[in-house]
Amino acid sequence: MESTAPQSPAGLRTSPTWLLNQAAAHATRLLSDGFAAHDLRGYHYRLLAALAEDGPASQADLGRRCGIDRSDVVAAVNDLAGRGLVVRAPDPADRRRNVISLTDAGADEAHRMGDTVGRVQNDLLAPLSTAERDQLTRLLSRLLEHHARR
């Protein structure tokens, strides 16, 4: 039986840029589906994970650390605060700033979402051995570090 799935030209199917793009699109779909089970999105996880790893932070610092635009941080923090996952309080050192902290429920959710990320990684990388996964991670990290310096 012939496949009815569209085929890309061979020149694309062997191009690293195309392959990276396709793998990233698949990974994005898997993560989005995984986070949807939590009724949250990737930027929520980035904020929760950053707070879990590094502790309380101002909204501006949190946005910079996570690479999220300031206005998007405000909306995401509003969502998370509305769910009781973070608290926003004035910074005692500078009352013009807000400091964002995880609640116990937020720490638990960050952990659950981290487990989801782990399951997605295992699903995405299922055909690769542990050594191949490590090699892929090293190579992708090297590419990103190189281009981050530009």
Mean pLDDT of the chain: 91
pLDDT of residue 95: 82
Q: What confidence tier does 2 reach under pLDDT thresholds 50, 70, 90?
A: low
Beta partners for residue 88, in sequence order: 100
CATH class of 28-148: mainly alpha
Q: What percent of the chain has pLDDT over 90?
A: 77
| CA–CA separation, 117 and 132 (whole Å) | 19
Q: Could you tell me which residue, 83 or 149, shows the higher pLDDT?
A: 83
CB 53 within 8 A of CB 110: no
Instruction: Quote the tokens at residue 78.
Output: 């509003």
pTM, whole model, 2 decimals? 0.83
Its sign, for the CA torsion 29, 33, 38, 39, is positive
